[in-house]
Structure 1
Amino acid sequence: MYLSRAPLTDSHLRQHSRHGVIRVATLEKLGVTQSTSYRRCQPGGRWTHLLPGIVLLSKEQPTARQRIEAALLLIDDLGVVTGFEAARRYGLRQAGPHGTVHVLIPEQRKVRSVKFAIIERTIVMPERRVIEGVPLAAPARAVLDGVRRIRDLDPVRSLLIETVEAGLCSVGELSAELESGSRRGTALPRAVLRELAAEVKSVPEAEALAIWKRAQLPPAEQNVTILDAFGNYVGKPDSWCDELALAWEIDSYAFHFGREAYRKTLHRNNRYAAAGIVVVQTLPSRIREEPEKVIAELRAAATAAASRPRPAVSVVRSDEAA
């Protein structure tokens, strides 16, 4: 007697998928015809068409990982993820908008961008790193591939600064990577890397220098090291007015208010207080949105600092340290 084959369940099919993403050709080998696969992706069906020949075994919105798997299947796994999605995989929080997956493939491959998959052919494939099963371009290449595609200065600054502060790569490595590739879209990252090379450490610092000048306060230096009367380390403020022993810190949520960074900020402020240093803390958003109020606060702090004896603190500059 002939026994018909039991229909394949989605649960069984998922065992052959990658995070629920599968090729239509693979489904066909498992016994699901192409017409059935595409019918199930139509309105009212239970699957989702992601990319040509690739479906999601669900009607839910695809996750970032599912979009990545779809893009990798599209290029037959012969490439690496780069750009903002790769930056997020490296743990960077300042990466650009979600939604697209940018992948690099060898020059000889002939695959076009489609929907959310940005396919870029390159003569020299970057170093490949694998994090949680996802092949990624090395950090410098990944981050620069992301910022080359945006035209707003602050997001470029934010991501490049975070990349350096996270220790993923140095300013020199970013600059070398930038010089080795296409010049398309490199004007903004070049400008930011010049700032970083000059030790501008946070997005609003260049604007902060202009605010200090507008306040008409005594000269300030950037990123010098302060020692107390016993030669102990106190801090390295964003701006330091040695005449008044006044420190100005630009403390952004992005770079200072993580749990560990917040703890360090509290200890730093305690050291300032113990050394008798007057310190002003400013959120970066206020430099742009409330410049007059920030100027007033700096002037008030300068008046307070001038009214007390200058504490016995000293400055070590980078050229002196060398």
Structure 2
Amino acid sequence: MNNNTPVTPCPLSHLTEGVRLRVLSLAQLREHGVPAAKAHAQCRPDGPWQQLLPGVCLLHQGPPTGEERLHAALLYAGRPSPEGAAGVPTQPSDGSRAADGPRPAADFPYGAAMITGLAALALYGFESAPSPRALDTVDVLVARTRRLRSTGFARLIRTHALPRPVSLTGVPVAPVARAVADAVADLSEAAAVGLLLAEAVRGGYCEPSALVRELNQARLLARPHVVEAVDALLAEGRALAEGRLYEMVFLNGLPDPVWNVELRLPGGPSLGCVDAYWPEQAVAVELDTRAPRQGGAGEDEALWSRYARKREHLERLGVTVVHLTPRKLRESLDQQATVVRTALSAADDRDPAAYVRVLPR
């Protein structure tokens, strides 16, 4: 074989005609038979292509679309590291650590990178998030070991443990709570933060507790304007949950309880407050609207321990405690009504409960 045989120029029309998004990395172009030198030549000022980011080409002139910007940022940030993307630790979208180990590299078409921040929220459909094309930067979440710098419109956000991405129109996107936290990091006004948090909860994208957990992990709860927005969110979230609880009782024909009361032993200490109580059946409903705060996991565990001790104390006295969360009330209202009705019906089969005083909260 004669190594001096000239290489036949590779026709490039099949790329611009066959690629849905005309954004390719130099590595992908090489797979199509286009060497790096040829690609750079095509990206000259008078050429048909342009370089959007280092190592990423747009196969046409003119402004890129929002979708092309997203894919370009992913191609730049997500090129697999020498160790391979399979070695990157991941965590589930609920924020807890993954128990099943690293995900295969094949699960990450962009080398374990995903869109986050406002660009991700725009893909989810947030009205308060501008379109990706209007954003000055596209935030991409990557492992902290990724050796790249932010450049152009691609801004890299590093994390110790990547969450499981959500695929939206073929784009890997961070879970809503993480995307909101990354967006909030750039906001300096409580009103703007509150707008994002409220839309995430009202739109049913995630629970308030998940949002606060991500904000806490990002150390954003040390910022007064974020704390102000979170306090408003939690107050609104509890009001929404209480409204659904009222709806559950009235729409399903349950007996009227007494609402928002404190239970006490006669002449004794407080047994705690409950959201609804049926004195004749000794059945209480308690809404779990806990959310982790700046104290972190330890404070959250302590709060849960107090919940558990109160429940155990009431049940030793013969009071049945039904534990409901805002998500259960939102997603399965009738099913939760059945749970409460079953507890009320079972009262006749239980030993009589201890007498407790019922006081307004």
Q: What TM-score bracket applies, with the shorter chain setting the length?
A: 0.5 to 0.7
Deviation by residue 1:107-160 (Cα, 9 ceiling, x = unmatched): 222121111111111102123211111111110111111121122333222221
Shift of 1:61: 1.0
Sequence identity (%): 32
Q: Could you list the runs of 5+ residues in structure 1 that have no partner in the other structure?
A: 202-222, 226-230, 233-319
Instruction: Indicate the residue corresponding to 2:206 in structure 1.
Output: 169
Quote the residue 2:119 is aligned against.
85
Number of residue pairs the alignment of both structures matches: 207
Conserved 8 A contact 2:221-2:227: no
Q: CA RMSD in A?
A: 3.3
C-alpha distance in 2, partners of 1:37/1:5?
15
Task: Find out whether 1:150 has 2:187 as its counterpart.
Answer: yes
Aligned equivalents of 1:185, 1:9: Cα separation in 2: 53
TM-score normalised per structure 1: 0.57
Native 8 Å contact 1:18 1:69 kept in 2: no
Question: Structure 1 stretch 58-67 or stretch 24-33: which is displaced more?
Answer: 24-33
Against the structure 1 CA distance between its residues 200 and 108, is the aligned structure 2 distance closer, same or farther, given a 3 Å change threshold?
closer
Pairing 1:88-99 to 2, within 5 Å after superposition: 88-96=122-130, 98-99=135-136
Does the 8 Å CA contact 1:23/1:73 hold for their aligned counterparts?
Answer: yes
AA partner of residue 115 (structure 2) = V
With the length of structure 2 as denominator, give the TM-score of the two structures: 0.51
Correspondence list, 1:130-145, <5 A:
130-145=167-182
* Matched-pair contact (CA < 8 Å) for 1:85–1:98: yes
The gaps in structure 2 that reach 5 residues or longer are 80-109, 245-249, 252-358
CA distance in 1, matches of 2:222, 2:34: 45
Give the Cα–Cα distance (whole angstroms) in 2 for the partners of residues 141 and 176 of structure 1: 9
Q: 1:89 to 1:175 in 2, by over 3 A?
A: same
Mapped partners of 2:224, 2:17: distance in 1: 47
- Contact 2:113–2:142 (CA<8 Å) still a contact in 1? yes
**TM superposition shift of 1:26:** 2.8
C-alpha distance in 1, partners of 2:115/2:205? 16
2:142 aligned counterpart, secondary structure: strand
User: Partner amino acid for 1:85?
Assistant: A
Give the SS at the match of 1:42: coil
Deviations 1:240-285 (A, max 9, x none): xxxxxxxxxxxxxxxxxxxxxxxxxxxxxxxxxxxxxxxxxxxxxx
Q: Compared with structure 1, are the counterparts of its residues 29 and 127 closer, same or farther at alpha carbon in structure 2 (3 Å cutoff)?
A: closer
Contact 2:50 2:58 in 1 (8 A): yes
Q: Aligned equivalents of 1:136 and 1:185: distance in 2?
A: 27
Could you tell me how far apart the structure 1 residues matched to 2:114 and 2:199 are? 22
Amino acid at match of 1:45: G
Q: Structure 2 CA distance, aligned partners of 1:124 and 1:7? A: 42
**Which one-letter code corresponds to 1:79 in the other structure?**
A
Structure-2 residue corresponding to 1:305: none
Instruction: Give the whole-Å Cα distance in 1 for the aligned partners of 2:69 and 2:224.
Output: 30
1:33 positional shift: 3.4
